[in-house]
Amino acid sequence: MTALDLHLPHLAHNLSVIRAKLKHDTRIIGVVKANAYGQGVVPIAQKLVDEGVTYLAVAYVSEGIELRAAGIRCRIMVFYPQPENFSSLLHHCLEPVLYSPSVWTLFSEIVRQNRIPNYPVHIKFNTGLNRIGFAPEEVYWLLKDGQNNALEIVSIYSHLAASEESKPHTPTHLQWEQFEKIKAPLAAAYPKVWFHLLNTSGVFNYPEWQMDAVRVGIGLYGYANQPEWDCQLKPVAQLRATITQIHSLKKGDSVGYNQGWQAPNKGQIACLPIGHADGIGRHFGHGKGAVRIHGQQAPIVGNVCMDMLMVDVTHIDCQPGDSVVFFDAEHSLSQWAQAANTIPYELLTGLSNRIPRHIHR
């Protein structure tokens, strides 16, 4: 047995911790891309809506369509819409983020053909992450060609490259300054538009830059990229399994594919029903990851297989069927991630849908 327990009251707690750092009128955009960071998008999105979040954000159009199919009716921003999906985006009332003059022009053509007035869109500026976005000097293009009755700009934003770095952090400061310069003429031309810059770590590190809205993802799920912020939050997802089988080994016996591990002495290993196809990647092999069994650490031995992995239980008294904790409220997923040189984002979003989700309301 393997299960991902989703504690929805923890989601509500995290939302209230984030709200407490914001002014009462700062909007929260709840980021539920990548299956709500691997947790399971429908119950998470529904809970956020129930808790009063009025805007959700996804990365791609297909993710927005999944939310609509599940009956989620709130406003949904699509961070990285691809032009080939623009018509289906329109048909599902999703709101694109436009990131260049050519994408703006292409989208407004499609909106005109569909004769929809004032279609809501969001504008992304590149201030130094150098991912997607209008260039700062394209503000003037937007001021001229953005006066266009097919599209209505709802919000204008940028994204920090290192919002969790300790302060003072010059590149982050330069990004903020650049965004302030972009904002001044646009705010004058579009007084109703809202501006936003911060993700989760930004809310913790620079609440003074919250502007009109914040886009929070990982914080909702219980992580904020620094131990002193993580401890204010509660992890929503907790991963557990039960032992499938236990083997006794002689000194020198090997375990797993390509003899990934050899028993240094006589001992025992336990096989667990989870593998790299479930999101516990091979980088957790060779002792990088360790589980808890009856409160004791059992390191992963050898290579992680597709559907199973093996842990050393030589010093633990355990049986098939006994329960195993990967991460929970006490045993942080951030430490798990760190041990294998990855981050909570990658570990969470990699958790496959093969793992049953148990929802705790």
* CB nearer ligand PLP, residue 53 or residue 290: 53
Shortest distance, position 87 Cβ to ligand PLP, whole Å: 23
Instruction: Find the part of the chain contacting ligand PLP (CB under 6 A) among 213-221, 233-241, 314-322, 348-356.
Output: 213-221
Q: Which of 23, 251, 257, 266 is catalytic?
A: 257
* CB nearer ligand PLP, residue 203 or residue 255: 203
Shortest distance, position 292 Cβ to ligand PLP, whole Å: 27
Distance in angstroms (rounded) separating the CA atoms of residues 49 and 30: 9
Does 14 help bind ligand PLP (rule: CB under 6 A)?
no
Alpha carbon 56 to chain centroid, angstroms: 13
Applying CB under 6 A, among 7, 159, 183, 282 the residue interacting with ligand PLP is 159
Per-residue contact flags (x/-) with ligand PLP for residues 29 to 48, judged by CB under 6 A = --x-x---------------
The per-residue DSSP string of 292-323 comes to: EETTEEEEEES---SS-EEEE-TTS---TT-E
Closest CA to 26 of 66, 46, 45, 53: 53
Q: Which of 33, 47, 124, 288 is catalytic?
A: 33
Nearest 5°: phi and psi at 26?
A: -80, 125
* CB nearer ligand PLP, residue 29 or residue 239: 29
DSSP 164: T
Applying CB under 6 A, among 155, 175, 200, 303 the residue interacting with ligand PLP is 200
* CB nearer ligand PLP, residue 132 or residue 325: 132
Tokens 């209505």 correspond to what residue? 152
Contact in structure between 305 and 272 (CB atoms under 8 Å): no
Distance in angstroms (rounded) separating the CA atoms of residues 174 and 274: 44
Distance in angstroms (rounded) separating the CA atoms of residues 309 and 270: 8
Closest CA to 326 of 303, 359, 355, 361: 355
Applying CB under 6 A, among 122, 183, 215, 276 the residue interacting with ligand PLP is 215
Shortest distance, position 28 Cβ to ligand PLP, whole Å: 11
Residues 70-89 that bind ligand PLP (CB under 6 A): 79
Instruction: Find the part of the chain contacting ligand PLP (CB under 6 A) among 110-118, 140-148, 185-193, 215-223.
Output: 215-223
The dihedral of CA 31, 32, 34, 39: what is its sign?
Answer: positive
Is 257 among the residues known to form the active site?
Answer: yes
Sheet holding 267-272, edge to edge: 245-249, 267-272, 309-312, 296-301, 290-293, 323-327, 237-242, 2-7, 357-360
Tokens 């570990």 correspond to what residue? 347
* CB nearer ligand PLP, residue 138 or residue 164: 164
Applying CB under 6 A, among 26, 39, 199, 210 the residue interacting with ligand PLP is 199
Instruction: Find the part of the chain contacting ligand PLP (CB under 6 A) among 216-224, 270-278, 305-313, 333-341.
Output: 216-224
* CB nearer ligand PLP, residue 33 or residue 183: 33
Is 33 among the residues known to form the active site?
Answer: yes
Query: Within 13 Å, how many C-alpha atoms sit on residue 131's CB side?
Result: 8
Contact in structure between 15 and 54 (CB atoms under 8 Å): no
* CB nearer ligand PLP, residue 10 or residue 159: 159
Size of the site for ligand PLP (CB under 6 A): 11
Alpha carbon 166 to chain centroid, angstroms: 21
Query: Within 13 Å, how many C-alpha atoms sit on residue 191's CB side?
Result: 0
What residues make contact with ligand PLP under the rule CB under 6 A? 31, 33, 79, 159, 199-200, 215-219
User: Could you give the residue numbers annotated as active site?
Assistant: 33, 257
